[in-house]
Structure 1
Amino acid sequence: MAREMRGSSLLESILTCLKDPSTDVRMKALLFFRTMMGQLKRKEASPIALLLVEKLPALFGDESSQVQELSLRLFEDTLKAAVRRDKAEMKDATRRVALSLFLHMNAESRSMAEASGKGLLICAKFLGWRKLKRVIKKKRTWLIGETLLKQERSRVEDYLYFSLPYLWDSQTSVRLEAIRFMGTAAQHLGRNPSQRTMEVVWDALKRCDDDLDASVRSLAGQTLRILQTVRELERSRRSFRGLCFSC
């Protein structure tokens, strides 16, 4: 039956049950997927794992502790289920999830913040991020964003784009963390950052001028001033190097 359901509309219907207002329905959907993943061969489970990986984190802060616990366990099983042909796609999805979980470690709900930390640790293990694992285990939350960026310096631009939607998150604490992260990430772009990326970051932070929360507006303004200083310093370095070469 599990094999017959792969790719069916019924499977999509059960995926939507993960968002159902009823705790009982969400729990049954999670149990269904856990049973299904256990019954299928890995190559059959892999495509379903790709469907689940970005949907499960929404349940990590669920009001039900049972739903939280089961969604975390299923999430870990899901990451392990990807076969070689789907590994790259699964890693890309996990990077997006990792950033989301990091930002939600600052959620107003303590339950959501703690569960996000557990989920981020699962992501770090799957991606082989040893330094990040150590930082999470030692609960050095102030180092997590910086460590995440240092894990994959070549993907800093990706993380900047991943963080953009969180500037409009419903929670002030998440919006503030997204701004801090974007400011840090922009400074990790190297000496020749993409002009397009910097424009996107600049415009996104400028839009925070309309935020209802004064602390968000203030932090966005401070971050813009820091980025402006960085840009001016880089222009000065280039001008100085140009003068040296012309001498």
Structure 2
Amino acid sequence: MWEALLSQPLILVKVLRELRRNLQHLQLRIGSRFCRVKFCIRLLALLACSDVTPEEFAGVYNREKFPWCQNVVLFSLTLTGLITLSQSPDTAKKILVLLPDLIYMLQTAHSKNRKKMLLIFRNVMGHLKKKDSSTALQLAENLPQLFDDVSSQVRELSICLFKEVIQMADWKHQRQMRKNVQGSLVPLVLHMSDETESVAKASHEAFCVAAKVLKWKWLSHHVQALERWRTVERLLEHDRSRAEEYVRQSMPYLQHAQVTVRMAAVRFIGLAARYLNDSSKDTLQEIFKGE
């Protein structure tokens, strides 16, 4: 019932505005559980009120910050409310202050809540466009860790969002953003073999954008033409010094749950091995013996 209520924008805003007016009269028993409830109600209520500016909301949140994620059910319900509220451009500007904390929680959350947080990120960043490069950089650093999530929806959402945020860096953050993009190339290539078609498609599209962000025109033709393994060959030819790093990134995928991804990892490592020095080849052989 609460999930359904929190998913209806007009009803949710009306209820939250009423709660804000009567919040001081709510007789909540003293205790950490009820303090969390009160904090989450106040958080959502302030977001829903048009007379509260982003600066005022940020001040309240930073001053009264409470460990609201400790109750799993309450946290999940609050995230549902944030998804609904983040659909509004004005509210999205306020929610921006919450994103660093949500990004921090992202890695330890279970898949259901990860999906909700990704939807919040997508809504907020979609409204803000290029106005918050530092948050885009934070997301670009953390999203690749979700490319291998057990949930295909989380994989697809994280890859699609990554594609959007890597284009949002300003000149101050471009160097670090390109570094993050380079670190994502192997996972994106391998997930082009994902058994879920929408994930494979999202991976290809993200790789295309990554090539543009890196200004690798020499790679763009093969990417656009869906010549995946020719793309990998060109990548390795151009960036031979990173061959060992690419191999190390690929190694965990040999244990991947999906056969198609495991096979892609084997092929990728085979291509990359051509560009390894003798020492690296010996190390690779020892690793495969251990497997």
Whether these two folds match at TM > 0.5 is yes
Q: TM-score w.r.t. structure 1 length? A: 0.64
Is 2:104 the partner of 1:12? yes
Q: Deviations over 1:140-196 (max 9, x none)?
A: 22312212212322222221222121111111221122122112111123xxx151x
CA contact 2:190–2:261 (8 Å) conserved in 1: yes
Among candidates 206, 226, 237, match of residue 289 of structure 2: 206
* Distance in 2 between residues matched to 1:88 and 1:23, nearest whole Å: 28
Deviation at 1:102, TM superposition (A): 0.7
Asked if 1:48 corresponds to 2:131, the answer is no
Structure 2's unaligned 5+ residue stretches are 1-57, 59-94
Is the partner of 1:80 in helix, strand or coil? coil
Equivalent residues in 2 for 1:96-245, closer than 5 Å: 96-189=183-276, 193=277, 195=279, 197-208=280-291
Query: Given the alignment of the two structures, is residue 81 of structure 1 paired with residue 81 of structure 2, yes or no?
Result: no
Which residue identity does 2:229 align to in structure 1? W
Asked if 2 retains the 8 angstrom alpha-carbon contact of 1:46 and 1:82, the reply is yes
The C-alpha deviation readout for 1:16-61, integer Å capped at 9, x for no partner, is: 598532697256323344257548443x4354344444256458x8
User: Does the aligned pair in 2 maintain the 1:124–1:130 contact within 8 Å?
Assistant: yes
Task: Specify every segment of 5 or more residues in structure 1 that has no aligned partner in the other structure, as ranges.
Answer: 209-247
CA contact 2:188–2:203 (8 Å) conserved in 1: yes
Q: How many residues are treated as equivalent by the alignment?
A: 197
Query: Which residue does the alignment assign to 1:212?
Result: none
Code of the aligned partner of 2:285: W
| Root mean square deviation, CA, Å | 3.3
CA gap 1:77/1:202 in 2 versus in 1, 3 angstroms: same
What residue identity is the alignment partner of 2:104?
E
**Residues 104 and 112 in structure 1, CA contact (< 8 A), matched pair in contact too:** yes
Per the alignment, residue 28 of structure 1 pairs with 119
Is the alpha carbon distance of 1:76 and 1:202 closer, same or farther for their aligned partners in structure 2, counting shifts above 3 Å? same
Q: Which amino acid aligns with 1:54?
A: P
Distance 1:56 1:172, change over 3 A: closer
> Post-superposition, which runs of at least 4 consecutive aligned residues in structure 1 deviate over 4 A?
16-19, 55-59, 70-73
Instruction: Normalising by structure 2, report the TM-score.
Output: 0.56
Tell me the distance in 2 between the aligned counterparts of 1:121 and 1:202: 32
Query: Is the CA contact (8 Å cut-off) linking 2:192 and 2:204 kept in structure 1?
Result: yes
Q: CA distance change for structure 1 residues 39 and 169 in 2, over 3 Å: closer, same or farther?
A: same
Larger Rg: 2
Distance 1:17 1:29 in 2: 17
- Contact map agreement 1:135 1:141 (CA 8 A) in 2: yes
8 Å contact kept, 1:3–1:40: no
Q: Which amino acid aligns with 1:205?
A: F
Residue range with higher mean Cα deviation, 106-115 or 44-53: 44-53
**1:179–1:205 Cα contact (<8 Å) kept:** no
CA distance in 2, matches of 1:72, 1:100: 10
Q: 1:89 to 1:202 in 2, by over 3 A?
A: farther
Contact persistence 2:211–2:217 (CA under 8 A): yes
Any idea what SS the aligned residue of 1:204 has? helix
| Aligned-partner Cα distance in 2 for 1:12–1:37 | 20
